């Protein structure tokens, strides 16, 4: 039983190891960069590993601390609370590790997305003598396209992918963990059922009805004065039954011949108590 559970635990950890080895090796196989040059961009690889590191730590905490000590022990609310805290911390650390993400408004007012300066577009000059109605100016204020809309809060666009990746890691981890837990529970139930059956069978095999034993001894005591030879034969039959119960019944299998002899000895002892008509 313990060996089987140890094998299942090793298999579970081996699956986790394979998954994370594949994840860590993926940055080395960047097809676009390998087509342009045969060398690996180790700077990009190390940066990718740095971004994977918080996710790996989240997996280790969830798999070896939160799941076995909280969720499996039916502490669901504590697990949910600590998981939310761990997810929030992981996303925060991952965002800090990422390359600088420019939010609208972080750039200088007259630069494009690449950081290059652009010339400010001024509204056309209007002659002084032209009336206000003849100016044909659009009824809106000029505002650069890169200025944020004040008063509107928006999540950074790179938060959503991190959140989905974190949920995927926790979901896959829980699925694998509970799959192996169900397999272990099934093996434990079968082992308990087997042990119960063996215990009941051993009890039945070793059981000697005290009334049967007492009545047989009383019959032998009465036969000593009536028929000594029959009393001796009865003692011999009882000894054979005792030998079978003590030695043969404990074996995993018994020859059919011994079973038949045991039944015959039992019938011979019972004949002493009853007449031939029974």
Report residue 37's pLDDT band, with 50, 70 and 90 as the boundaries. Answer: low
Query: 174 with 93, same domain?
Result: yes
Query: 9 with 70, same domain?
Result: yes
Is the CB of residue 241 less than 8 Å from the CB of residue 206? no
Q: What is the pLDDT of residues 39-90, one digit of tens each?
A: 777 888 888 888 899 999 999 999 999 999 999 988 999 999 999 999 999 9
pLDDT at residue 106 tops 60: no
Query: 180 with 87, same domain?
Result: yes
pLDDT at residue 35, rounded to an integer: 55
Last residue of a domain, one of 136, 167, 192: 192
Residue 40 CA from chain centroid, whole number? 36
Q: Distance (Å, rounded) from C-alpha 54 to C-alpha 200?
A: 54
Q: What is the pLDDT of residues 172-203, one digit of tens each?
A: 999 999 999 999 999 889 989 988 888 877 77
Lowest-confidence region among 108-117, 233-242, 265-274: 108-117
Q: What is the mean pLDDT of residues 238-252?
A: 80
pLDDT at residue 208 tops 70: no
Last residue of a domain, one of 168, 192, 216: 192
How many domains, in total, are found in the chain? Answer: 2
How crowded is residue 266: how many other Cβ atoms within 10 Å of its Cβ?
A: 17
pLDDT at residue 99 tops 90: no
pLDDT at residue 252, rounded to an integer: 75
Residue, of 25 and 39, whose pLDDT is higher: 25
Q: Could you tell me the residue range of the domain that residue 79 belongs to?
A: 2-102+157-192
**Pick from 29, 18, 31, 23: which is nearest to 52 by CA?**
23
Is the CB of residue 220 less than 8 Å from the CB of residue 238? yes
How crowded is residue 116: how many other Cβ atoms within 10 Å of its Cβ?
A: 8
Classify residue 67 by burial, with Cβ atoms within 10 Å: 0-12, 13-18, 19+: buried
Q: How many residues does the chain have?
A: 278
Query: 166 with 246, same domain?
Result: no
The backbone torsions φ and ψ at residue 252, rounded to the nearest 5 degrees and listed phi first, read -65, -30
């Amino acid at each position: 039983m313990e060996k089987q559970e140890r094998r299942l635990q090793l298999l579970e950890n081996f699956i986790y190891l394979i998954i994370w080895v594949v994840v860590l090796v993926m940055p080395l196989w960047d097809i676009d960069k390998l087509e342009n040059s045969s060398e690996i961009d180790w700077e990009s690889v190390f940066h990718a590993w740095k971004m994977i590191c918080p996710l790996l730590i989240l997996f280790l905490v969830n798999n070896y601390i939160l799941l076995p000590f909280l969720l499996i022990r039916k502490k669901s609310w504590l697990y949910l609370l600590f998981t939310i805290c761990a997810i929030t911390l992981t996303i925060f650390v991952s965002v800090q590790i990422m390359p600088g993400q420019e939010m609208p408004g972080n750039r200088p007012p007259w630069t494009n997305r690449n950081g290059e300066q652009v010339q400010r577009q001024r509204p056309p000059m209007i002659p002084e003598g032209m009336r206000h109605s003849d100016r044909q100016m659009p009824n809106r204020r000029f505002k650069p396209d890169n200025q944020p809309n004040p008063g509107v809060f928006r999540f950074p666009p790179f938060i959503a992918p991190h959140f989905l990746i974190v949920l995927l890691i926790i979901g896959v981890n829980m699925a694998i963990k509970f799959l192996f837990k169900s397999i272990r529970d099934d093996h434990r139930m079968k082992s308990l059922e087997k042990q119960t059956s063996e215990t009941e069978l051993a009890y039945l095999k070793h059981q000697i009805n005290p009334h049967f034993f007492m009545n047989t001894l009383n019959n032998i005591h009465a036969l000593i004065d009536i028929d000594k030879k029959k009393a001796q034969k009865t003692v011999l039959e009882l000894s054979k039954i005792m030998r079978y119960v003590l030695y043969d019944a404990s074996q995993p299998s018994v020859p059919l011949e011994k079973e038949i002899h045991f039944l015959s000895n039992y019938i011979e002892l019972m004949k002493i108590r009853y007449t031939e008509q029974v």
